[in-house]
Amino acid sequence: MTPWMLATIALLPAFAVPVLAACRGGTGARLVAVQLAGAIAALEFALMTFAFDQSAFMDLALTLALLSLPATLAMALFLERWL
């Protein structure tokens, strides 16, 4: 098992924190949790690029990182009456 794979597996428990916050929190907390989950998922994809030696994972990581903020802002605009 490569160190990149170990790093990928070690980061999985950190992904559980925003998932639990998204399930239990209020509207604002859910929005922040989704943003944090997107950042952790992008890091997971970047680590998987090196673990599996597949460049397609880096494309996914960059796409997720670039689209995460505008998507969160659009969702906040949609939910602004409850925030």
> Per residue in 21-35, pLDDT tens?
989 988 888 889 999
**Residue 83 — pLDDT band, cuts 50, 70, 90?**
low
Give the model's pLDDT for residue 51.
94
- Exposure of 29 in the CB half-sphere (CA atoms within 13 A): 10
Give the model's pLDDT for residue 80.
83
Rounded to whole angstroms, the Cα distance separating 63 from 8 reads 19
> If you average pLDDT over residues 59-79, what whole number do you get?
91
Tell me the per-residue pLDDT of 44-55, one tens digit each, with 9 for 90 and over: 999 999 999 999
Q: Give the mean pLDDT of the chain.
A: 91
